[in-house]
Structure 1
């Protein structure tokens, strides 16, 4: 009888905890996105006309890329973490590998479409700068993450 009274409370707390973790991740993603926008804005030195056309296209690309990388690859990451990859049959592994390749190809095509669209907005030199700046930002973010991890130890 007491279990029936406690069960809804436990479900509520566990769902709040899950929601809080999701919100924390969403907040972190927004912080990173803000930092990236500031970094790219400085690095690309866009004119106001370029920026007005560039950011909606780039943000749509980023959102779609995030969806492809995190939502579609979530199943693979989960299987790696829980160790079930080593328990897959060869047929399951082959199917999974095909799904991963398809996802990688979709991301490649998305990048290719971005480049084609940006050719109508930016000069080629700024598109190349964008690629380099994205890599520089990712490297910078990784270094910050590593440095923060070293300070905790």
Structure 2
């Protein structure tokens, strides 16, 4: 259960970041910070880095698009008032769309892992996963600290 909460929280945090008018600028700052963080943590050789970053960036952009463009549309329809006013047919259609996007995300992740295994060792892939989780926690903490200062 704990593993499922972090992606949801991260989605909500990133959604609130991107909902602001300067969303592209903030996204680019976060992306640059993430690249710097991962570069330091992974200690990639120049050969690894040359092959890794195109794979990583392609995956990251596509999963961002799926999570934020498609899922944002679904989430708008999921507040209590909208759910209660949906017909069963519309609810089934929305559920099918969500399931389809989840499947796309799964297949994207599977392809990403296959491509990563061609350029990084299993240990470095595990280190990448841990580093991404660490980055997400750090980002969430910064967001919370910033929000607490505003109160």
TM-score (norm 1): 0.81
Q: Which moved more, 1:21-30 or 1:139-148?
A: 21-30
Counterpart CA distance in 1 for 2:21 and 2:54 is 24
**1:47 lines up with 2:45 in the alignment:** yes
Structure 2 counterpart of 1:101? 99
- The 5-angstrom pairing of residues 21-32 of structure 1 reads 24-32=22-30
Post-superposition Cα deviations, 1:29-60, rounded to whole Å, max 9, x if no partner, equal 00110011011111111011100100011001
**1:115 lines up with 2:113 in the alignment:** yes
Segments of structure 1 that go 5 or more residues without pairing to the other structure are: 1-20
Over 2 Å off, 4+ runs: 80-83
**1:34 lines up with 2:53 in the alignment:** no
Aligned length: 133
Tell me how far 1:94 sits from its aligned partner.
1.5
Segments of structure 2 that go 5 or more residues without pairing to the other structure are: 1-18
Q: Which moved more, 1:134-143 or 1:73-82?
A: 73-82
Larger radius of gyration: 1
Q: Pick from 83, 86, 92 the counterpart of residue 84 of structure 2.
A: 86
Structure 1 counterpart of 2:59? 61
TM-score (norm 2): 0.82
Counterpart CA distance in 1 for 2:144 and 2:118 is 38
